[in-house]
Every structure is written in structure tokens, then in C-alpha cells.
């Protein structure tokens, strides 16, 4: 069991580099199965979800290594199609392997995925897209058996712009026979990153970043080298931490355009933010308590649900009443109850959390409920007058390479226990 210890009320100051994107690299790792040879991805974060995906790929016969941010995946000896249940239970992104396995091997065996417990998160849209391309599915005792003699292009229209389902549809369509049209697809930056990666492998994709994507199937893809962009959720976390602690922090390596909505919200809360687009640099200065804010999460370009818990922590120290509405995951207010242990005055009204800010917060002891909720508790500790301890930090390690290292470099008194 791991825990984080924080001595609060230390203003954050300085510059921090942002790790590679967790939500972008996982579908790229799944895509490596579509090419015979060695794929290399640079600037990869050393986080638990990446190690879990490496474990799945190795169980399928791949050889994987991750050293100093350089990930290599050698698929030459890969022939398996069964995803071990032990890995599926750890991470939801394991379902992204369905499309590549069906495309390459014509069959796949998996289970309903795990990950953070933040709502129902069904995979029905994933299965719908793959069925449209010609796959058949059979379920027995929580196991999913998938088969496809030959995937063929089709028209896919999602009832909701699911990121994972969009990725699975693209991964299956790039080598399918004919052309696939995907409508009402997700527009998140990670979709664009995946499409750029697949294009480097030889895929033909039009419309990445728009609500309609067209994929012209090719006979085969080839191994590629790729440099991973910065993690926008990690960058947003550190900017919110700076706002909560009257800090002056510059984050380097994340695409400012990808953070347009969080930056807009932080400015409404009183932060002075300057941006250098070409240098991928965002500087936040705050010399007062944050102001209150109202926001609603939604698919990109809306406010990211992955930053909802973090901004709820920021709202808990604001001057006034804030309202944060969650529209993506129905159970993502687990952090709200735990933030109350730090003195936060938060109540929930259905899918809206109402925070009446108070400062400073009081020291607390709590277990991280999930990945982003755990980060929110760490930020609460930064704004607490005393020593706080956050337990069950395995969740945090799923998405942050080293939260203590990064915040410590900015002046936080924080360490792993």
C-alpha cells in the first residue's frame, strides 16, 4: 500500500515539464498489433496503465520494453488473441484491443473491462461499431468471444461521441475492406493523436478532430516511430494546484489549444494566464484566492470530465459558491464526500456539486477513490493548514508518472510514504 504525505500552505512556483499523454498512448499501443515489426513511441509516461497494457501485449506474444520514456513493441512473434482477465480488471482501455485483434487475427477473447469505478461506463458502443464492420459477439459468464472472417467498411453513427468507441472503430477500420464513415464521433485531442500515429503507419484517414471521420482501408500497416504529445489532464491538474496555492507556475509540453476550456475557467476564477503557443508553454499567476465558478463537463471541446474532481478541489477554496455539473459519468462525485474531510463545504444536488469555498482547508486523511479523485485530494492537502495523508495511491500511479516529484519541484512539501 502506498500513500502520499503533504504539508500544506506552500505556494507553488517554478516550471514543470508535462509527461506524455496517458489517454493517447494506450490506443497507440493497441494499434501496434496492426503492424508486423517493431513500433517505437517516445515520451511515454511510466505509469501503471502503460505497464498493464504492456502486460497484455506480452501475453499476446509481443516483446515490450520501456526505458527512459522510449517504448518499443515488437509484434513479430505475436499470435495470441486471448486477453487475460487479470489485466482486463485493472484498466478499461483493454477493450481497445478488440478492434486490432479482430482486424489481424479474426478473433478475440476478453472480459468486461475495469479501471476507475466512476459509473457504468458500458462498452455497448464499442460492440455496436465492431458489429457494423462485420464482427460477431458471444457472451458467457462475463467473457466476451468475438469473431470476424473479414472486416468490411461500413457507416457507423454513434448515439454519443464516445472516445473509446471512436478509437476502436478507427483501429478496426484502417485495414478493413473498403471505406468506413464514422459519424458523431469523439473529437478529443487524443483521437487526433491516434490518427496521426496511424497515418505514420500507412493508414488513410480524413477528418480527424471533426465529428465525421472517413477511413479508407488499406491492406496492411507498417511499424512506425512517433513522439507522444503532453498530457493535457496532467497539465490542467498542475495549473489548478497553482491557482489554489497563490502560485506562479509554468507548464511546458502540453498543447495550449487542448486546454482552452480549463484555461478559460481558470481565468474566470481570477488567474493571470499567459500562453506561448509555439513553445507549448502556459504560465499561471495567482495572487489571491480563486473566485467562484460554474462549469459543466462534456465531450471535447467542452470541459473535460477528467478534470472535474480537480476543479472541484479548487472550487472548495474559492471566495463564494461554485456549481460543477457532471454530464459524462454519473458516479464521479466520489471525491466530493472525501473533500469534506478536509473541511470543504460541498453538497451534491443530483449531478451537480455545490461548493461554498473556505480557506485554508484543514488537514485530512483519506483514501484516493479513483485516479482523478486521488489527485483532487492531493490538491486539497496542498491548501490545508497542516499535515495530510492520502492513501490507496495506486490509483494515482495509473495516470501520473510521479505527482510528488512534479509538485515537489514547484515547492510543495510532499513525498511518497
Residues with active-site annotation: 116
345 has binding-site annotation: no
Strands 413-416 and 3-7: antiparallel
Query: DSSP code of 291?
Result: P
Are 239 and 282 within 8 A, CB to CB?
yes
363 has binding-site annotation: no
369 has binding-site annotation: no
Residues 6+ apart with CB under 8 A from 30: 53, 93, 96, 97, 99, 100, 171
121 has binding-site annotation: yes
Are 18 and 230 within 8 A, CB to CB?
yes
124 has binding-site annotation: yes
| Measured CA angle at 268 (ends 384, 229), to 5 deg | 80
10 has binding-site annotation: no
219 has binding-site annotation: no
Bond from prior residue into 301 cis (ω within 30 degrees of 0)? yes
How far is it, in rounded angstroms, from Cα 235 to Cα 217?
A: 35
| Residue 21 CA to its chain's centroid (Å) | 7
- What is the per-residue DSSP string for 51-77? HHHHHHHHHTT-EEEEETTEEEEE-TT
123 has binding-site annotation: yes
390 has binding-site annotation: no
22 has binding-site annotation: yes
Annotated binding-site positions for UDP-N-acetyl-alpha-D-glucosamine: 92, 121-125, 306, 328
> Can you say which residues are annotated as belonging to the binding site?
22-23, 92, 121-125, 306, 328
Q: Which residues are annotated as a binding site for phosphoenolpyruvate?
A: 22-23
Amino acid at each position: 500500500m502506498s500513500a502520499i504525505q503533504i504539508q500544506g500552505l506552500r505556494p507553488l512556483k517554478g516550471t514543470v515539464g508535462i509527461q506524455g499523454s496517458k489517454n493517447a498512448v494506450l490506443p497507440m499501443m493497441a494499434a501496434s498489433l496492426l503492424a508486423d515489426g517493431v513500433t517505437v513511441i517516445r515520451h511515454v509516461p511510466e505509469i501503471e496503465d502503460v505497464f498493464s497494457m504492456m502486460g497484455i501485449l506480452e501475453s499476446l506474444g509481443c516483446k515490450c520494453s520501456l526505458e527512459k520514456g522510449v517504448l518499443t513493441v515488437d509484434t513479430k512473434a505475436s499470435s495470441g488473441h486471448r486477453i487475460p482477465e487479470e489485466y482486463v480488471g485493472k484498466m478499461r482501455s483493454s477493450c481497445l484491443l478488440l478492434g486490432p485483434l479482430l482486424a489481424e487475427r479474426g478473433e478475440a477473447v476478453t472480459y468486461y473491462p475495469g479501471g476507475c469505478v466512476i459509473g457504468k461506463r458500458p462498452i455497448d458502443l464499442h460492440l455496436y461499431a465492431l458489429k457494423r464492420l462485420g464482427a460477431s459477439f458471444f457472451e458467457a459468464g462475463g467473457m466476451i468471444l468475438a469473431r470476424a472472417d473479414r472486416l468490411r467498411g461500413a457507416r457507423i453513427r454513434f448515439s454519443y461521441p464516445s472516445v473509446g468507441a471512436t478509437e476502436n472503430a478507427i483501429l478496426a477500420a484502417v485495414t478493413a475492406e473498403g471505406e468506413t464513415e464514422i459519424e458523431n464521433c469523439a473529437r478529443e485531442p487524443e483521437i487526433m493523436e491516434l490518427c496521426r500515429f496511424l497515418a505514420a503507419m500507412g493508414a488513410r484517414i480524413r477528418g480527424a478532430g471533426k465529428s465525421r471521420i472517413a477511413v479508407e482501408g488499406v491492406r496492411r500497416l507498417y511499424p512506425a516511430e512517433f513522439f507522444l504529445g503532453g498530457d493535457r489532464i496532467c497539465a490542467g491538474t498542475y495549473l489548478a494546484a497553482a491557482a489554489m496555492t497563490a502560485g506562479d507556475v509554468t507548464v511546458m509540453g502540453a498543447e495550449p489549444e487542448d486546454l482552452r476550456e480549463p484555461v478559460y475557467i481558470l481565468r474566470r476564477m481570477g488567474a493571470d494566464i499567459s500562453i506561448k503557443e509555439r513553445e507549448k508553454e502556459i504560465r499561471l499567476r495567482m495572487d489571491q484566492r480563486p473566485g467562484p465558478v460554474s462549469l459543466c463537463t462534456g465531450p471535447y471541446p467542452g470541459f473535460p470530465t477528467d478534470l472535474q474532481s480537480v476543479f472541484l478541489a479548487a472550487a472548495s477554496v474559492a471566495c463564494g459558491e461554485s456549481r460543477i455539473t457532471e454530464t459524462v459519468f454519473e458516479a464521479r462525485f466520489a471525491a466530493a464526500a472525501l473533500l469534506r474531510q478536509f473541511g470543504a463545504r460541498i453538497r451534491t444536488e443530483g449531478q451537480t456539486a455545490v461548493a461554498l469555498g473556505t480557506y485554508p482547508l484543514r488537514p485530512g486523511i483519506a483514501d484516493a477513490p479513483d485516479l482523478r479523485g486521488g489527485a483532487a485530494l492531493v490538491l486539497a492537502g496542498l491548501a490545508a493548514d497542516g499535515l495530510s495523508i492520502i492513501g490507496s495511491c495506486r490509483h494515482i500511479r495509473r495516470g501520473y508518472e510521479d505527482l510528488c516529484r512534479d509538485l515537489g519541484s514547484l515547492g510543495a512539501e510532499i513525498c511518497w510514504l
